[in-house]
Chains A and B, each alone.
Chain A
Amino acid sequence: SAVISQKPSRDICQRGTSLTIQCQVDSQVTMMFWYRQQPGQSLTLIATANQGSEATYESGFVIDKFPISRPNLTFSTLTVSNMSPEDSSIYLCSVVRTSSYEQYFGPGTRLTVT
């Protein structure tokens, strides 16, 4: 498995502000993803974080709302911009190790927007 950390673990933010979530992995991985999981729901892929280039977004998610950076093979950030209460959710980063199919998840960031 991979050791994945996320910061912050939780936050309460005001409407209209932005929050940046960090994801750090203990070793180089090929793929990094960002997911959203609303209470009692499944995992929804936001985007694939590409090292050194723009992220690949899924339908319904746009760069202006969820800018993503991945400056190297072990670190990525997701920003939730101009937040509204509908953005309240758990955000998880996920990685796939080089030469492996297995995907592992970080501990998640619980975001509440008031």
Chain B
Amino acid sequence: GENVEQHPSTLSVQEGDSAVIKCTYSDSASNYFPWYKQELGKRPQLIIDIRSNVGEKKDQRIAVTLNKTAKHFSLHITETQPEDSAVYFCAASSGGYQKVTFGIGTKLQVIP
């Protein structure tokens, strides 16, 4: 089955700096890579996703990149703000109606 590795497990950045979270996956059939943000006590929220036919996708201060050859994908948050503090999960699936496999999560702390 799919195995998703995520690092770092914790990340502290100063407000305004950038944050990068990296993930690798094992199943070459995976073609859908969502990212979730989970604030304390709340449900995971889908914040951005990327499909294997795209190398990069941006949404305001958030961007994801995908390298299919190396089987890794990354989340980039620019101009971080205190409200970006949360746990971020990467995930991978073979898309459509297939189950999603999650990474262990990265606890991001943005220091004002």
Q: Which residues of A contact B (CB under 8 A)?
A: 1, 30-31, 33, 41-43, 45, 48, 92, 96, 101-108
Compute how far the CA of A48 lies from the CA of B100 in the bound complex, rounded to whole angstroms. Answer: 11
Compute how far the CA of A31 lies from the CA of B102 in the bound complex, rounded to whole angstroms. Answer: 17
Q: Contacts of B42 on A, CB cut-off 8 Å?
A: 107
Partner of A33, one of B32, B95, B99: B99
Q: Which residues of B contact A (CB under 8 A)?
A: 32, 34, 42-46, 49, 51, 89, 93, 95-97, 99-105
Q: Contacts of A30 on B, CB cut-off 8 Å?
A: 97
Compute how far the CA of A43 lies from the CA of B34 in the bound complex, rounded to whole angstroms. Answer: 14
Compute how far the CA of A106 lies from the CA of B42 in the bound complex, rounded to whole angstroms. Answer: 10
Q: 26 A-B pairs, CB-CB below 8 angstroms?
A: A1-B46, A30-B97, A31-B97, A41-B104, A41-B105, A42-B89, A42-B104, A42-B105, A43-B44, A43-B89, A45-B100, A45-B101, A92-B43, A92-B44, A96-B97, A101-B32, A101-B34, A101-B49, A101-B93, A101-B96, A103-B34, A105-B44, A105-B45, A106-B43, A107-B42, A108-B43
Q: Contacts of A42 on B, CB cut-off 8 Å?
A: 89, 102-105
B49–A102 touching, CB < 8 Å: yes
Compute how far the CA of A102 lies from the CA of B50 in the bound complex, rounded to whole angstroms. Answer: 11
Q: A33-B99, A42-B104 are in contact. Are A101 and B43 (CB under 8 A)?
A: no
Residue among A48, A96, A103, A107 having the largest count of chain B Cβ atoms under 10 Å: A103
Residue among A101, A106, A107 having the largest count of chain B Cβ atoms under 10 Å: A101
Total A-B residue contacts, Cβ distance less than 8 Å: 42
Besides the contacts A1-B46, A102-B49, A107-B42, what 12 more A-B pairs have beta carbons closer than 8 Å? A31-B97, A42-B89, A43-B44, A43-B89, A43-B102, A45-B99, A45-B100, A45-B101, A96-B97, A101-B49, A101-B95, A107-B43
A30: nearest chain-B partner, CB-CB: B97
Q: A42-B89, A42-B104, A43-B102 are in contact. Are A105 and B43 (CB under 8 A)?
A: yes
Q: Contacts of B49 on A, CB cut-off 8 Å?
A: 101-102
Compute how far the CA of A8 lies from the CA of B32 in the bound complex, rounded to whole angstroms. Answer: 32
